[in-house]
Every structure is written in C-alpha cells, then in structure tokens.
Amino acid sequence: MVLLNLVPYLLLLFISTFLGVGCKNRTWGLIFVLAIFVGFRYGVGWDYWNYTRAIQEAGYGLDRFEWLPRQLGYIAHELSFVQLYFIVVAFFSMLFVIKALKRMSENFSVSLYIFLTFPLFFLFSLVIDRFFLALAIMFYGSTFLFKGRKIIPFIICLLIAFNIHKASLVSILFLIPYYIRVGQKMNLFLFVFASMVTSFISLYIVELVVVLGGISGIMEDGLNSFVKYAEQAYSSDMNKIPYLFYVINIINLLFRKNLFRDNESIDTYLTIFNIGCCLMLL
C-alpha cells in the first residue's frame, strides 16, 4: 500500500526531472505540472478542509486570511469553485520557486531534484498553502540581494509576501548576512544560544499563551489556533524533520573550511541556513 501511494510522487519526479533537464522552453511546462499536482489535490494538508470551509462560507474563517488570499477566497466563493484557490496559490508558489532556482543555481537539475525530494521543500506546499507561497516569494526576492544587492525588489517582494502571510516578515533577517559578514564563531554561538532557550520556550510558552488568553479573553480564536498548530506539530512525525537540518547545519559550521571554497558567498549561504535553523529551534 505504501509503494502504491508513492506512485503519483514517483511519476511526478520522473516528469519533472525530464522537464527540468530539458531546454528553457520547458520551464513553463515544469511549473504547470507541479502546480497541477499541488492545486488539484483533494483532502491533503492540515489546512485543506479549514480553507475549504472558509471559502464556502465566506465568513470569519476567510476574514482571518491576509488581504491577497482573502480576495482570492472571495473570488473562489463567488464562482462556487473552491479548488480555484488552491490552483492559483500552487501556480504562483511553483512559479517563484522555479524562477529563483533558475536564477541562482549552477546546476538547475540537481537543485530541482533536491527541491522535490528533500523534506520540508516541495511536499511542504501540500500542507501549508499561504505560508509556502509567501516563502516562495521571499526565496525569489532574496535572489535580488545576491544579484547585485538590490534591496528595492527585495522590499517589494516582502510587502507582497506580508499580505499573503504575516510570518514572511521574519525574512527581513535576510538583510543581516548580506550587509554584515557573520563569521563561523558567531554562527556557532547563535545556534548554541537558540538550542539553550528552545527548551524554555517549548515548556512554558504554550502554557503562558493559554493562561494569558484565559485572563484577557482577547484574541481567543487566534490563541486557540496557535495552540492547535503547536500540538499538531509536536505530535506529528514532522517534528523530527528539523533535526536533519540541525545536523547538516552543525556539519557545515564545524567543517566549513574542508567542505567549501573560501569566499564570501558561501559564508552568506551558511549564515542564512544557520538563521533558519535557529528560528526552527525557537
């Protein structure tokens, strides 16, 4: 049964690899194939049924969305075509990811393969739609910092992403490694510090949120949603995946001179990866 469930993903991997290895005019075909796979799914992902109900009812659930996805939800509601929401979000998610990979990767085929097969990359788009779209936009926006350190296009991408998912504001931290060179020792310190405080956060923050919510009585729905997501993430197998990133991060930082050429771009990449790991810890 497990092997049978893998068939669609293996087929997608085969088709995507074929399109990714080919000439440039196959790029749009690749984007459409990935978008169709994600956008036409049924019942897959934590948010699928919540989003479906919100769009069908066009009530409070939809009002909780940021401005851009809320407008898309209203359009899908008026057309009585809920799946339109998932299709549009999937298309733009794949568009920005593929465009960013095309812009930055020295070997697009390898980068595409890693994107499709590595945990928390492509499959994450099947789980959290708005967040992944905002992440894809900021991934693309970060390429402007690499290509000539152009901050204006990055800020424009940030403003768009912020109106899709407010968590995208965290990507403002991308500016740190681009304008301040963070060395190996500082990166190690940041990671160790994040590791030390994570136990405190995991033990007390959720309880504190519940207590404050009960005392104040404000933002009750938002607090309940936060607690629900925290409990789901902790109880699912996905809470084990970040450890893979932590191991890779430690290897990168401890053996940086042995694994990579000595240049500023590598330090920037490693710092961004380390910041991401620190945020996952927190």
DSSP code string of 127-192: T-HHHHHHHHHHHHHHHHHHTT--HHHHHHHHHHHHTT-GGGGGGGGGHHHHHS---HHHHHHHHH
Q: Does the structure show a pLDDT above 80 at 101?
A: yes
Q: Does the structure show a pLDDT above 90 at 71?
A: yes
Which pLDDT value is given to residue 22?
61
Q: What is the residue-averaged pLDDT of the chain?
A: 82
**What CA–CA distances, in Å, run from 91 to 96, 125, 210, 268, 270?**
9, 11, 37, 29, 29
How crowded is the C-beta side of 167, counted as CA atoms within 13 Å?
12
pLDDT-based confidence at 258, cuts 50/70/90?
Answer: confident
Q: What is the mean pLDDT of residues 266-280?
A: 84
pLDDT-based confidence at 95, cuts 50/70/90?
Answer: very high
> What phi-psi label fits residue 277: left (phi over 0), alpha (psi between -120 and 50 degrees) or beta?
alpha
Radius of gyration of the chain measured on its C-alpha atoms: 20
Residues 130 and 66 sit within 8 Å (Cβ to Cβ):
yes
Which pLDDT value is given to residue 99?
94
Which pLDDT value is given to residue 86?
96
Percentage of residues in the chain having pLDDT higher than 70: 81
| H or E stretch covering 92 | helix 83-104
Q: Does the structure show a pLDDT above 60 at 105?
A: yes
pLDDT-based confidence at 83, cuts 50/70/90?
Answer: very high
Q: Does the structure show a pLDDT above 90 at 224?
A: no
Percentage of residues in the chain having pLDDT higher than 90: 34
Which pLDDT value is given to residue 145?
86
Distance CA 158, CA 139 (A): 10
Q: Does the structure show a pLDDT above 80 at 45?
A: yes
Distance CA 69, CA 236 (A): 27
Per DSSP, the three-state class of 64 is coil
pLDDT in tens, 15-35: 888 887 765 558 889 999 999
Q: Does the structure show a pLDDT above 70 at 106?
A: yes
Q: What is the mean pLDDT of residues 226-237?
A: 53
| Residue linked to tokens 């939800």 | 73
Which pLDDT value is given to residue 204?
61
Per DSSP, the three-state class of 66 is coil
Q: Does the structure show a pLDDT above 70 at 13?
A: yes
pLDDT in tens, 132-168: 999 999 999 999 988 777 899 999 999 999 999 998 9
Q: What is the mean pLDDT of residues 158-185?
A: 88
Residues 88 and 130 sit within 8 Å (Cβ to Cβ):
no
Which pLDDT value is given to residue 239?
64
